[in-house]
Amino acid sequence: MQTNESQKQATEAKPRRPRGFAAMDRKRVSEIASKGGKAAHAAGTAHEFSSDEAREAGRKGGMAPHVRRGAPPKDSE
């Protein structure tokens, strides 16, 4: 069993390399995601936004930057 110091040296010696999707070509990742979406729709388990749901999501997204900056949203003034 290695000591903490020797474990630290072993991890520092190896450069970190991307793994999984981060190591893949973006086009390949997009193909895999596309297949997953098509399979979910074929199985009937995919979520499809209605107009009202999309409108609500857009409203929330527009409010988020104001919340992060600490300013009140425009429509509550």
Q: Quick: pLDDT tens for 7-45.
A: 666 556 788 899 999 999 999 999 999 999 999 999 999
How many C-beta neighbours within 10 Å does residue 62 have? 12
Reported pTM: 0.47
Roughly how many angstroms between the first and final C-alpha of the chain, as a whole number?
Answer: 63
What contacts 62, CB < 8 A, 6 or more positions away? 73
Q: Quick: pLDDT tens for 59-77.
A: 887 776 666 666 665 665 4
